[in-house]
Amino acid sequence: MEYNHNEISAIAEMKISVFFMKVKNICCIGAGYVGGPTMAIIAQKSPEINVTVVDINEKRIAAWNDPDVEKIPIYEPGLSEVVAEARGRNLFFSTDVDAAIDAADMIFISVNTPTKTYGIGKGMAADLKYIELCARQIARVAKNDKIIVEKSTLPVRTAEALKRILDNTGNGVNFQILSNPEFLAEGTAVTDLHKPDRVLIGGDLDTEAGREAIQALVDVYGHWVSDDNILTTNVWSSELSKLTANAFLAQRVSSINAMSELCEVTEADVQEVAKAIGMDSRIGPKFLKASVGFGGSCFQKDILNLVYIAKSFGLNEVADYWEQVILMNDHQKRRFAAKIVKTLFNTVSGKKIALLGWAFKKDTNDTRESAAIYVADYLLNEQAEIVVYDPKVTQEQILADLDYLGTRSEEENRKLISVVNSAQEACEAAHAVAVMTEWDAFKTLDWEAIYEGMLKPAFLFDGRRLLDKEALTAIGFEFYAIGS
């Protein structure tokens, strides 16, 4: 049988994998701290690609679509401007998950992967039920070939489970699974996305379809990221790299915090120690700031996941090593709270303690695993009266964080803790003030007026090494800073 030139071309086109085609429609399942900002930047930098972010949380999607772009649900410097530029042009937020999946060439999975609170692996393993639900929904809806991108932080070899679900429950379409972990720091997420240290893409390097899928995602990022900053690897290395990066960073924080306690009993200053060792080019200065402890959605969750993976393979010494990073962090929060109690003459019962800051770090409204939650809980157990001020965190979120711990009833939490609208109000008639988040605005508060309004002696506990000890001591404060 003979074919003319046009027929041969048509047959050749039919055989070209969908993965080789340019991506025109992206769907992201999950409108949280990773999915929302990442998709906003992709839409901003790739105006020819339609980007739809979907979530079953109607309230969250409504907030992303709020006409007042300053009311989007995530606070990140510069994010509202990016959303304003792209929203309605090629960036869309929707609760119609099926429609977005159906239209997409590439689907990012960016749903929550919390630590399990039940069953095997309780307290350590990642809970992958939301990931599996996403996979089954994609398999049910998809009618043409798709590239699936793991954006959530996942245990190594999760891609294998995704592949099995998609291939065995789908409609006979082909799926390629990529790992594209995020390396964002909350508070600088927009900058991190605009100028990433690296973009890591893991996929099936052994097949043509796998390599084409990787290239399709490389081309998306290639709109603004240079080839030198895009790293491609196999999917397993990519999945494990995210856990490893967070473990190494958290390890540095716990290491300097361990030294902070030693500094306090030897009259050394941890800030001076950190500066000295940070000037060593082999060590460097980053993540060497002593504090009341690290928080956020990633560090603790990812290290616990790493511990669980190591234990599941019988690597107990490896597991014990990484678990100590978490134990040190927990100890730092407990000892800071205990220092407040001890300094206030061994009792805080009925005493007003002002906590300045509730977010786990400045320039974000994210409170997950914030040190403030655990310090507040400890002090509430000692029957303190807690007053909180944070410039970006709502009363609803603060109460929800305490309720989640389950230490006491919701009714009790609402009796024992109050949330106010200014630092001055929080500190009025307080026995002590504790700085829990390093918001820049706390540096320039009218500390003389705050001192005048407090009960005496007026105690000030700096959990972030943010304030000028000499200036505040001169005002009259009994001042304590971690590591000095």
Distant-in-sequence contacts of 210-216, Cβ < 8 A, 24+ apart: 210/176, 212/17, 212/19, 212/20, 212/176, 213/19, 213/147, 213/176, 213/178, 214/178, 215/20, 216/19, 216/20, 216/21, 216/22, 216/23, 216/105, 216/106, 216/147
Q: Which of 134, 263, 298, 427 is catalytic?
A: 298
Residue count of the chain, please give it. 484
CB 175 within 8 A of CB 166: yes
Q: Does the annotation count 27 as an active-site position?
A: no
Q: Which of 45, 116, 146, 242 is catalytic?
A: 242
Q: Does the annotation count 58 as an active-site position?
A: no
Q: ω before 457 within 30° of 0 (cis)?
A: yes
CB 212 within 8 A of CB 19: yes
Contacts of 32 (CB under 8 A, 6+ apart): 55, 60, 74, 110, 111, 112
Distance CA 433, CA 372 (A): 12
Residue 320, H or E segment: helix 316-343
Tell me how crowded residue 62 is: count the other CB atoms within 10 A of its CB.
13
35-45 helix and 79-86 helix, angle to the nearest 10 degrees:
50
Q: Does the annotation count 298 as an active-site position?
A: yes
CB burial class (10 A; 0-12, 13-18, 19+) of residue 282? exposed
Q: Which of 44, 380, 377, 62 is nearest to 221 (CA)?
A: 44
Q: Which of 182, 186, 212, 385 is catalytic?
A: 182
> Phi/psi zone of residue 204: left (φ > 0), alpha (ψ -120 to 50 degrees), beta?
beta
* End-to-end Cα separation, the chain, in angstroms: 87
Q: Helices marked H in 27-149 — which ranges? A: 35-45, 58-64, 79-86, 97-103, 129-141
Strand partners, 387: 354, 418
Type of residue numbered 17? S
235-266 helix and 316-343 helix, angle to the nearest 10 degrees:
40
Distance CA 146, CA 143 (A): 9
* 201 phi/psi in degrees, rounded to 5: -130, 120
- Annotated active-site positions, please? 182, 242, 298
